[in-house]
Amino acid sequence: MQLIFEKTVRGRRAITLDPLDVPEAKLPELVSRAKTAELPELAEIDIIRHFTNLSRRNFGVDSHFYPLGSCTMKYNPKIAEVVAALPGFGQLHPHLSTSEAYWPLCQGAFELIYETEHWLAEIAGMKETCLQPIAGAHGELAGTLLIAAYHRERGESNKDTILIPDSAHGTNPASAAIAGFKVVEVPSHDDGTMRLESIKAAMNENVAGLMMTCPNTHGLFEPAVAEIADYLHQHDALLYYDGANLNAIIGKARPGDLGFDVMHYNLHKTFATPHGMGGPGSGPVGVGERLAKYLPGPRVVKRHGAFALEMPEKSIGRLSQFFGNFGMAVRALAYMKHLGRDGLCEVAENAVLNANYIWARLKDTYTPAFDLPFMHECVFTAAPQAKNGARALDIAKALLDYGFHAPTVYFPLTVKESIMIEPTETESRETLDAFCDAMIEIAKTIESDPAALADAPKTTPVGRLDEVKAARQLNCACL
């Protein structure tokens, strides 16, 4: 498709302003732009067509089943969009929070933050939560900074190491590194879980904490999680919960009850705020008792019947300009309020049901990567198919021709030729069946004619793209 810049017609306009009703003013030449930026020149209809046609070259949850493992691509309810766009939220200037004089004009927003933080805290068994982190990885950074602040205040300057399982998301080690930690990788057991023995083997007096995902990225609940928490606490190390997979256990187990000290939530995963082609997300941080005083601030508190702002006693400071992605919190609260205490439990139930249904339908065709029962996602290895000449990537591309987004492939790194399928709770049985039928048909094709997959996908606007050419030419802008 042509670029929007290639469609430009000199002099064409979309939005025009009313004539300037005050005298013209001019900046000194020294600080003025020499040449007007070459932005597109198009009519509104040209722009609407361009982007509408671009959108049709995308798969999204609204149009396609999107079983991307670890990403929780559930349906995004429309009511959440409507309430987030209410003028009292959508058009509210955040500097109303900067001066106390303005606080009476943003009490509704303060209450929304307060209420959302309380819902999140109760759901995960945390003492307090804070909406400031802007994305999941930003929440991880918040959490690891809190761990660092905790040890620093206790004078434990030796505690400079974070343990991270080999199955962890790449953001975990990257976030810990920004918080100043050395990262030591801990191997998973062959059955896909983390064993206390492995933690013991990696333990020393410099370990500040461990970051875990539960269920882990193999889709398995960690049976030793409480033992691991106890062991860490005995060694004055803290346990971090990567909330990426919270959807699997919501209402069934709470990280706080399991012994986790600090965590992040992914509002764009568990709480259905849309993924927006890569973001915005939202990654609130939650803490147990001992880390509450270090939380980022300012925080909304209730004081004399009104909402006010306060800096926690030993706050690590400010992680976002105001209250993180507030608009995502509005959407998440709408989601939580609609579901309520019972509906939230059903989220996990149906998510785990759907994943296990896919496992049951595919386990005789594809090789499950692990024998333990899966939770909200199931992981297969396409190593046998790869021996026949079609890799996980080929299976992923073939699925696109059946009208399904591909599962996550080649992650987790611990499984060869991994295919990680997370259907979520909002998919119907007929969709799951159609997907499984496609997977089974693809497996048959691999047995009879593996080379047939090499050309897939054929029905998408473009076929497989030359990534090597992209990286070598590095044409990243039309200048």
Partner 1 sequence: MSWSPATAAERDEMLAVIGHKTIEDLFAAVPNAFRPKSWDLPAGISEMAVRDQLGKLAAQNASGHISFLGGGAYDHYIPAAIDALTSRGEFYTAYTPYQPECAQGTLQSIYEYQSAICRLTDMEFANASLYDGGTAVFEATTMSVRLTGRSRIVIHPSLNPIYRKMLATHTAHLQLDIVEGEDPKDAACVIVQNPSFLGAVADFSKLAEKCHAAGAMLVVSFYPISLGIVKSPGEMGADICIAEGQCMGVPLAFGGPWLGVMATRKAHVRKMPGRIAAETSDAQGRRGFVLTLQAREQHIRREKAMSNICSNEALCALRALIYMSLMGKEGFRDVARHCHAKAEYLKSKLSFVKVLNEGPTFNEFAVRLPRNAEETVTAMAKCGYLAGLPLAPLGAGAETDLLIAVTERRTRADLDAFAAALEEVTCN
Partner 2 sequence: MYPENCKYTKEHEWVRAEGAVYVVGITSFAADQLGDVTYVDLPKPGKEVKQGDSAAAIESVKAASDIYAPVGGRVSEVNDALTDAPELVNQGPYDQGWFFKLEGVNAGDFDALMDAKAYTAYVEAQH
Sites for partner 1 among residues 380-419 (CB under 8 A): 396-397, 400, 405-406, 408, 411
Query: In 10 A of CB 31, how many CB atoms?
Result: 6
Residue 245: what residue type? N
Residues 8 to 47 in contact with partner 1, rule: CB under 8 A: 12-17, 20-25, 27-28, 30-34, 36-42, 44, 47
Tell me if 265 sits within 8 A of 283, measured CB to CB.
yes
**Angle between helix 136-153 and 171-178 (nearest 10):** 40
Interface with partner 1 includes 356 (CB under 8 A)?
yes
Q: How far apart are CA 261 and CA 180, in angstroms?
A: 19
Interface with partner 1 includes 272 (CB under 8 A)?
yes
Between 31 and 471, whose beta carbon lies closer to partner 2? 471
Query: In 10 A of CB 210, how many CB atoms?
Result: 26
Work out which of 25, 471, 476, 478 binds partner 2, going by CB under 8 A: 471
Which stretch, 218-226, 341-349, 430-438, 464-472, contacts partner 2 (CB under 8 A)? 464-472
Which stretch, 161-169, 233-241, 352-360, 468-476, contacts partner 2 (CB under 8 A)? 468-476
The per-residue b/e assignment along 339-351, b for 16 or more CB within 10 angstroms, e otherwise, is beeeebeebbebb
Q: How far apart are CA 260 and CA 262, in angstroms?
A: 6
Q: How far apart are CA 60 and CA 28, in angstroms?
A: 48
Between 80 and 199, whose beta carbon lies closer to partner 1? 80
Shortest CB 81 distance to partner 1, Å? 7
Collapsed DSSP state (helix, strand, coil) of residue 202: helix
Residue 242: closest CA among 127, 341, 164: 164
Interface with partner 2 includes 472 (CB under 8 A)?
yes
Total number of residues that touch partner 2 (CB under 8 A):
4
Interface with partner 2 includes 78 (CB under 8 A)?
no
Query: In 10 A of CB 16, how many CB atoms?
Result: 6
Q: How far apart are CA 114 and CA 97, in angstroms?
A: 14
Tell me if 198 sits within 8 A of 163, measured CB to CB.
no
Tell me if 248 sits within 8 A of 215, measured CB to CB.
yes
Interface with partner 1 includes 157 (CB under 8 A)?
no
Interface with partner 1 includes 187 (CB under 8 A)?
no
Interface with partner 1 includes 136 (CB under 8 A)?
yes
Cis peptide leading into residue 280 (ω within 30°): yes
Between 54 and 301, whose beta carbon lies closer to partner 1? 54
Shortest CB 358 distance to partner 1, Å? 10
Total number of residues that touch partner 1 (CB under 8 A):
208
Shortest CB 90 distance to partner 1, Å? 5
Residues 313 to 352 in contact with partner 1, rule: CB under 8 A: 316-328, 330, 333-334, 336-344, 346-347, 349-350, 352
Q: Where are the beta strands (DSSP E) in 298-354?
A: 299-303, 306-310
Shortest CB 259 distance to partner 1, Å? 10
Shortest CB 479 distance to partner 2, Å? 20
Shortest CB 475 distance to partner 2, Å? 13
Between 42 and 438, whose beta carbon lies closer to partner 1? 42
Interface with partner 2 includes 364 (CB under 8 A)?
no
Tell me if 335 sits within 8 A of 80, measured CB to CB.
yes
Residues 362 to 381 in contact with partner 1, rule: CB under 8 A: 372-373, 375
- In the DSSP assignment, the letter for residue 374 is P
Q: How far apart are CA 174 and CA 171, in angstroms?
A: 5
Interface with partner 2 includes 465 (CB under 8 A)?
no
Interface with partner 2 includes 468 (CB under 8 A)?
yes
Q: How far apart are CA 156 and CA 151, in angstroms?
A: 5
Interface with partner 1 includes 311 (CB under 8 A)?
no
Shortest CB 417 distance to partner 1, Å? 16
Q: Pairing relation of β-strands 161-165 and 182-186?
A: parallel
Give me 467's structure tokens: 């990534």
Residues 433 to 472 in contact with partner 1, rule: CB under 8 A: 457, 460-467, 469-471
Collapsed DSSP state (helix, strand, coil) of residue 208: strand
Q: How far apart are CA 331 and CA 278, in angstroms?
A: 17
- In the DSSP assignment, the letter for residue 65 is B
Between 21 and 190, whose beta carbon lies closer to partner 1? 21
Residues 65 to 124 in contact with partner 1, rule: CB under 8 A: 66, 68, 71, 73-77, 79, 81-102, 105-109, 111-112, 119, 122-123
- In the DSSP assignment, the letter for residue 141 is H
Residues 188 to 217 in contact with partner 1, rule: CB under 8 A: none
62 binds, among partner 1, partner 2, none (CB under 5 to 8 A by kind): partner 1
Residue 326: closest CA among 104, 138, 137, 117: 117
Give me 407's structure tokens: 């599962």
Interface with partner 2 includes 467 (CB under 8 A)?
yes
Shortest CB 466 distance to partner 2, Å? 10
Between 380 and 387, whose beta carbon lies closer to partner 1? 380
Work out which of 153, 197, 205, 257 binds partner 1, going by CB under 8 A: 257
Site residues for partner 2 per CB under 8 A: 467-468, 471-472
